[in-house]
Amino acid sequence: MLRDVAEPTDAPTDPTDEAAGASGASGATGAFAADELTAVDRGELDPVARIDELRATIGYHSRRYHELDAPEIPDAEYDALLRELQHLEAEHPDLITPDSPTQVVGGAISTTFAEVVHSVPMMSLDNAMDEAELRSWGERTARALAKLGVDADAAATVGYVCELKIDGLAVSLRYEHGAFVLGATRGDGRKGEDVTANLRTIEAIPTRLPKGATTPAVIEVRGEVYMPIAVFEALNRSQAEAGGHLYVNPRNTAAGSLRQKDAAMTASRKLAFWSYQLGEIAMPDGTPPTFTTHHETLDLLGSLGFPVNPEIQRLGTLDEVYAFCRHWQEHRHDLDYEIDGVVVKLDDLALREQLGVTAKAPRWAIAFKFPPEERTTKLLDIQVLIGRTGRATPQAQLEPVFVGGSTVARATLHNQDQVKLKDVRPGDTVIVRKAGDVIPEVVGPVLSERPEGLAEWVFPTHCPVCGTALVRPEGGADHRCPNTSCPARVAGSIEHFAGRSALDIEGFGESSVRLFQSMGMLGGIADIYSLDFDRLAGVEGFGDTSIANMRAAIEASKQRPLANLLVGLNIRHLANAGSEALAGHFGHLDQIAAASLDDLLSVEGVGQIIAESVRAWFDDPDNLAVIEKLRAAGVNFVGPEASGKPQTITGKAVVVTGMLEAYNRDEAEAIIKAHGGKSPGSVSKKTFAVVVGDGAGASKLTKATELGVPVLDEAAFVHLLATGELPAASA
């Protein structure tokens, strides 16, 4: 993967954690507005790299949202990433790939349920973020209709159906001869999951349709399963009473409830349903359906017993449509369910047909998204947290407030400039915003409510944990604690080292790390391997079993792949992708440590920021001492597969064509990888060598010759694996 910029990891989230968030020139999660210049626009970042990075970031968040039901960023931020990608792809159409998130509907499939292929794909919707975007969709549609011969006046008042955009999860329900036979989630739009048994438990979903001459032979109904707010709140009340964890918001809870293996669990969650769209339909005896408009299809759904939202309205002009959007933006909390926008659909089905669809969404509909929600609360205090890299992040401590479906008590204020810019002071009433999901933001103070004489907040000059003077590098926005032994930094780096994307050691969460630190047993990551377990005996929470488990977890961590170790070393800007790239290319920690800046820069996916940071890390004698301790403890330094083979062709691409004597195709590929190399299927100018066996393809040979790539026979290949050298004649 071509990514220079740090990417999200699944390590424990730390608001001060640079590698896990974003860094580099543009910031992986930085919001994007169409009229804003991006780092790519400014020529600071290669579009290929940024596109790749955006796809990875979007993929990560999409998986958290759709599959894990545990989003980490607000919808608005996700949308901004997607828009940045759309913008870049529009400028570089040659870089569009069929699997780009702009071309597929979000939400992949979990493996727990049987797969269902949708007879009509379940598409997503394009978004309009404000009035201008809504109107420009209206104009685009009118122009497209005019091209299709619909006259301008008619096109301008074409007839819209405006529906509330229910914040739940889309499902498709299939009925044959009146019986509910199959219910599926949207999944990736083409294929979803069979959740029939669970859907059957939802009261609002009919299991039989009324019998009659006009009951469709087949009907597929689309709609939204959701959790009413009252149900969500009651669920969280009982969770709190039982001391259980609280659910984040109704949408994710509904999704989790629907994907329970045990349908009785779904039943207990009291989900509800609104139908809003017809999929496949076949009338009895093959008679064609009589309806010509969307609103007639909704009437049909209502008459068949499906709940149709009572707020749906037919409107003639975009002015009316926008007024409807404004109205519901203001009144969204008058409802007993969450909505995050308004869906505007053309009413005329024939016109819809003519307008057609893009790869991802119909042209005949648009989702008007509400702006992020805002609430006010008291700012109790601003605390400065020290992260594993020493970054000092001010964090707002808030009087808990319910916003966007969950209670918020803390929000990051990012850095000194942000606090100054927002001018928020402890004691202020502040506006808190959440884009319907997870990450809360303090927008600013309500000045009219500021108590007289309230003092401005001053960024501390010294680390609140170790007392060292904080530094703010010139040109940077962040303060940091420069003391590498600062207990907060050390604790953060140990937790990170033990995190899932690093060495994955169970039992090294915040509280045990702090405990071991306070006992003087843990001064850095390497001390994990020389913990004095005898001293833990008798400490509360550390029985024989948990100590044995911890020993086993520490032992197992010694065998993690090199890339995980690199992640765990806490090198600034270096996260999963960069670590994979380095591990794949060099194959051994010592080779990375010895690599020059140029060597590092030659690795695909490693740019200036990472390369400099890696070089600087290995130049620090303290870090080298840590490496030696890890080596002495027996931690694996070899990658990518710890093959035990000499890493003679690290990072080199060797293409095999034809049949070799000693290896079949898979074995040849495996042996190349075991020696640190890559084995792509085609020859390019980056190919290091082409190995030919019996019946080799002529095209690969020709290409190799054209590009001057060395061609080897099997004996030369064996020699290459053993020594890393090409025979003199072929080099």
Rule CB under 6 A: which residues touch ligand IVH?
A: 123-125, 163, 165-166, 170, 186, 224, 276-277, 343, 362, 365, 367
User: What is the closest distance, in whole angstroms, from the C-beta atom of residue 180 to ligand IVH in the complex?
Assistant: 20
CA angle at residue 430 from 428 to 431, to 5 degrees? 170
Identify which of residues 364 and 663 has a Cβ nearer to ligand IVH in the complex: 364
Q: And the tokens for 107?
A: 């939400």
- The sign of the dihedral angle between the CA atoms of 208, 209, 215, 220 is negative
User: Is 657 in contact with 681 (CB distance < 8 Å)?
Assistant: no
Identify which of residues 276 and 516 has a Cβ nearer to ligand IVH in the complex: 276
Residue position matching structure tokens 């007639």: 296
Identity of the residue numbered 357 = V
Q: And the tokens for 693?
A: 């066996």
User: What is the closest distance, in whole angstroms, from the C-beta atom of residue 143 to ligand IVH in the complex?
Assistant: 21
- DSSP structure string for 383-441: EEEE-TT-EEEEEEEEEEEEETTEEEEEEE--SHHHHHHHT--TT-EEEEEE-SSS--E
Which one of 147, 165, 360, 652 is the catalytic residue? Answer: 165
Identify which of residues 219 and 562 has a Cβ nearer to ligand IVH in the complex: 219
User: What is the closest distance, in whole angstroms, from the C-beta atom of residue 205 to ligand IVH in the complex?
Assistant: 16
Identify which of residues 188 and 320 has a Cβ nearer to ligand IVH in the complex: 188
User: What is the closest distance, in whole angstroms, from the C-beta atom of residue 124 to ligand IVH in the complex?
Assistant: 5
Closest CA to 86 of 70, 69, 103, 98: 103
Residue 557, CB-side half-sphere exposure with 13 Å CA sphere? 29
Which residues lie closer than 8 Å to 210 by C-beta, 6 or more apart?
178, 304, 305
Q: And the tokens for 189?
A: 């739009």
How far is 492 from 169, CA to CA, in rounded Å?
Answer: 37
Strands 687-692 and 711-712, bridge-based pairing: parallel
User: What is the closest distance, in whole angstroms, from the C-beta atom of residue 281 to ligand IVH in the complex?
Assistant: 15
User: Is 261 annotated in the active site?
Assistant: no
Q: And the tokens for 700?
A: 């690969």
How far is 282 from 664, CA to CA, in rounded Å?
Answer: 52
User: What is the closest distance, in whole angstroms, from the C-beta atom of residue 190 to ligand IVH in the complex?
Assistant: 13
Identify which of residues 204 and 553 has a Cβ nearer to ligand IVH in the complex: 204
Identify which of residues 363 and 472 has a Cβ nearer to ligand IVH in the complex: 363
User: What is the closest distance, in whole angstroms, from the C-beta atom of residue 591 to ligand IVH in the complex?
Assistant: 48
- Closest residue to ligand IVH, judged by C-beta, is 170
Identify which of residues 168 and 584 has a Cβ nearer to ligand IVH in the complex: 168
Query: What's the helix, strand, coil split of the chain in %, to 5?
Result: 35, 20, 45
Catalytic residues: 165
